[in-house]
Amino acid sequence: MLKAILLYLSRQKGIQDFMMNFGVTRRVVDRFVSGEQLEDGLNAVKKVNSEGAIATLDHLGEEVTEPDEAVAAADVYLDALDQINFNHVDTNVSVKPTQLGLKIDKKLCEKNFTKIIERAKEYDNFVRMDMEDSDCTQDTLDVFKSLRKKYDNVGIVIQTYLYRSEKDLDEILELEGRIRLCKGAYKEPKEVAFPKIQQVDENFVKLMQKMLLSGIYHGIATHDEKIIEITKEFAQKNNIPKDSFEFQLLYGIRTELQHRLVKEGYNVRIYIPFGREWYPYFTRRLAERPANLFFFLKNFFRA
């Protein structure tokens, strides 16, 4: 129930405006968001690189309603790729399709992605298409499949809480697409998503095994230590080298787990968000783990 409430609040504009201007919230957000400027994101990348991890940069923002906003969002990523190359840091970029105009026009979204992917290709870099709520799933996959036919430096995300995910994953593997596998962080109706966390976890393990056996470099995105251990055991049992996949973790969450995985010799990528539009992302992080919510409340009442 609490998770459902937080996910509902993540889409409420009035509450968003209040929270974004409330100083206590902003101080707590600093744990999960690297800052509001690209420079903040790059500094966070430098730090995780120094600790043995790689990164992916995400400029926060979603569901734009005007074509000019979508073009402006793409321009931020073009600048980010230029600065990544200039600073010689080890990170790619993750981009939400609705930030590039998916809900305005799929062709606009694909055009904006094309600019980013081509710039990344100039620098031998990579672009990950994020996955949003289930209303966007098919359109996102349509754009990805079109782009994947032309570019090999674009990947996508599959969320294991959706019933459709195994079929989608099989189709992406046929295209030799690179996948980030995660559980999913949006409020979904029972008609499209598994209602029980155990079912989501079981589907995660099933899809993870398919991915690792594919011979394609994929990302296993979870902080669930049980699933991480299952992944390690499966890879070892099937003689899958540690450097043939990566674990992906969120910035500011379970840093001790990040360090342990790096020490064990696994590739670890940290998802580092930056930007002013942090409220939806922040609220979804609170919904995912009770520990995050308790951290927020503890700091809230200290103020």
Q: Pinpoint the alpha helices (H) of 34-94.
A: 38-50, 67-87
Residue pair 32/282 in contact by the 8 Å Cβ criterion: yes
What is the rounded CA–CA span in Å between residue 18 and residue 216? Answer: 44
- Radius of gyration of the chain measured on its C-alpha atoms: 18
Q: Taking Cα atoms as reference points, which of 52, 67, 96, 4 lies closest to residue 258?
A: 52
Q: Going by C-beta distance under 8 Å and a sequence separation of 6 or more, which residues neighbour residue 87?
A: 42, 46
- CA torsion angle 264 184 38 21 (round to 10): -130
Question: DSSP state, 124?
Answer: T
What residues are labeled active site? 130, 180
What is the rounded CA–CA span in Å between residue 14 and residue 7? Answer: 15
What is the rounded CA–CA span in Å between residue 143 and residue 148? Answer: 9
